[in-house]
Amino acid sequence: MSTSTGATGTDITTDSVRELLSDRKVFPGLPEDLDEDAELVLDSLGLVWLLHVVEERYGLIVEPTDEDIAGLTSLRRLTGYLRTAQKGDARDDA
């Protein structure tokens, strides 16, 4: 994972990621009350859109590896991945 952070002072939370996933035009099949451990399947365009919005709102640029993407299988895992990246604790595989 490669990351770059900006200082927005706002932490990424489960609720904020759930809110990002609530756009029915981008993620039409996801329920509004998405459970943290429910299976999550993001297509490539949805993932690109999500990462763009994360960059816009949080100043966080994330470039996940294929392995990272394969692990984003639930709201909990996606939130954990973004929080780790935001805190700068993420490893850089590049």
Helix (H, G, I), strand (E, B) or coil at 46: helix
Residue in the block written with tokens 């993620």 = 27
Model confidence, pTM: 0.82
Domains of the chain, first to last: 2-87 (1.10.1200.10)
Taking only the tens of pLDDT, the chain with its 94 residues reads 655 555 456 899 999 999 999 988 899 888 888 899 999 989 999 999 999 999 999 999 999 999 999 999 999 999 999 999 999 844 443 3
CA–CA dist 10, 39 (Å, integer): 27
Q: What Å distances lie between residue 84 and 31, 55, 56, 58, 79, CA to CA?
A: 25, 15, 18, 13, 8
